[in-house]
Amino acid sequence: MEPVIQGLTLILDPFNIGLIFAGVVIGVAVGALPGLSSPMAVALLLPFTITLDPVPAICMMAALYCAGTFGGSITAILINAPGAPPAAATALDGYPMAKRGEAGRALGLAAVSSVMGGIFSLVVFLFAAPLLADIALEFRPPEYFALTVFALSMLASISGKSSLRNLIAGAFGVLLGTAGIHLTTGVERFTFGFYELTEGISFVPVLIGLFALGELLGQSQALNVTYERITSVVVKLPSMADFRKVGMTILRSSGIGTFIGILPAEGATVAAIMGYNEAKRWSKNKEEFGHGALEGIAGPEAANNAATGGAMVPTLALGIPGSGTTAIILAALIMHGFRPGPYLMQETPHFLYAIFGAMLMANFMFLGIGLAGAKLFSRITLIPRQFLWPSVFVFSMVGAYSFASSIFDIWVMFIAGVLGFLMKRHGFGPAPLVMGLILGKLVEESLSQSMIMFDNNWFQFFDSPIVVFFFVVTLLGLFWPVVRMVFNKLFNRQTEPS
């Protein structure tokens, strides 16, 4: 009990609280701007924390990490421009709600779901870190390959009405992910003489182009259409009835996000996909998804924010970063003289509780910012489109360029925007493509490493119970309609009177 009191005492210093609040504000702002990301912000913050004491330095970074994950949902909901890849799933139902004049309701729901997911993962982080860290150690490249294949199979139902079109878009995204130099063999593929493609296609300009620019081109066809939006409805926050409706979705997605976050390198994007898919699977109103379903916001938001707390488990308990941002936090820990891993938990447990307290405080802070700011942010949808969308275009160009300071990325964004516009016209969802691009690199890398481990013997994949489990649920997920139809026929045949 003494380490808990010591840790909480450390963060209750007014100076430390001020730094945590600053981290939250920066995180929300960075997360909301397309092209900027939490890893980038934490990396830029790292040099400024050298002169700080270890506790306030790490706590500020952890607060920025939590808030940055939520910030991506703001522009995803308001203008269909996800600030980060995990928010792409939120845009599927958040933006339709904003279009029909319920931006405040969507933003408020996203804020509360994010906080609930974050608190859930932090409680797990506090009480079960050693046990969950041991489970994470069981995952090798074969297990990661099976998990990523399972995540890719979920793209079939993540958006749109056609599972086949979703899988085609996802497969095309995986194909785009193969461009560049293969890390295992060193072979250069699909670069077409452009040296900018040697490191692959960056997902940020593709993400901005598919969603923001694609929506801009779509809106340009309806400039003469007038939308009537009542201000009192636009700024209205979600009701208690809304939260009761999504309660189980938040709880389920929080568990999914925590588990995925614990696995190194999987991160919030996979968690958001799974959170959205499971929300749709268990919903009684599946037809509402893609048109502004409340569960379609609560599911991915609870999952991707729960992944932040989960990602801290291997980072602190094992010294293995659970995401790109926690890799920078790990470097900061070492820079300040700490030894991440079992020694950190044994020698300085009060420091562990201080980080827990800072992340918990950050969640409540951005809840206040999210709910108080929802009414302000939601008024963006009241801006005439003649002014709003040119501004979105400028921010999209800045976001695409700022990721790697490359003009080539702006051209990638333009091409992705036209592609996104054409895909939407022909019934293809943009989300599966960008998810396929992100997950494609993970699935290819883990497959290559697995084949080296197994000396090209495919059958050794089935030696792992975890791999077999994920392969089975992948097949069930893809062919569940057929399986259900067969079971229904067999059941009806048995119940028919002879």
Give the residue among 417, 469, 467, 429 at the shortest CA–CA distance from 156: 429
By CB atoms closer than 10 A (0-12, 13-18, 19+), residue 401 is: middle
Closest CA to 424 of 176, 222, 270, 223: 222
Distance of CA 121 to the CA centre of its chain: 15
Task: Give the DSSP letter of residue 383.
Answer: S
Query: What does each of the 498 residues of the chain score in pLDDT, given as a tens digit?
Result: 676 777 777 788 888 889 889 888 888 887 776 656 677 677 777 777 778 888 888 888 888 888 887 888 888 888 777 767 778 888 889 888 888 888 888 888 888 999 999 889 888 777 766 666 566 667 788 888 888 888 788 777 666 557 788 888 888 988 988 888 887 778 888 888 888 888 888 877 887 888 778 877 877 765 555 444 444 445 677 888 888 888 899 999 998 888 888 776 556 778 888 888 888 888 888 888 888 889 999 999 999 888 887 777 777 776 666 666 777 787 788 777 777 766 676 677 777 778 888 888 888 888 888 777 766 766 665 666 677 677 778 877 877 787 677 888 889 889 988 998 888 888 887 878 877 887 788 888 888 889 998 888 888 888 888 889 889 888 887 776 677 777 777 766 666 555
Strands 188-189 and 180-181: antiparallel
- pTM of the predicted model over 0.85: no
In angstroms, rounded to a whole number, what is the distance separating the alpha carbons of residues 486 and 337? 61
Maximal CA-CA distance, the chain: 83
CA separation for the pair 31, 20 (Å, rounded): 16
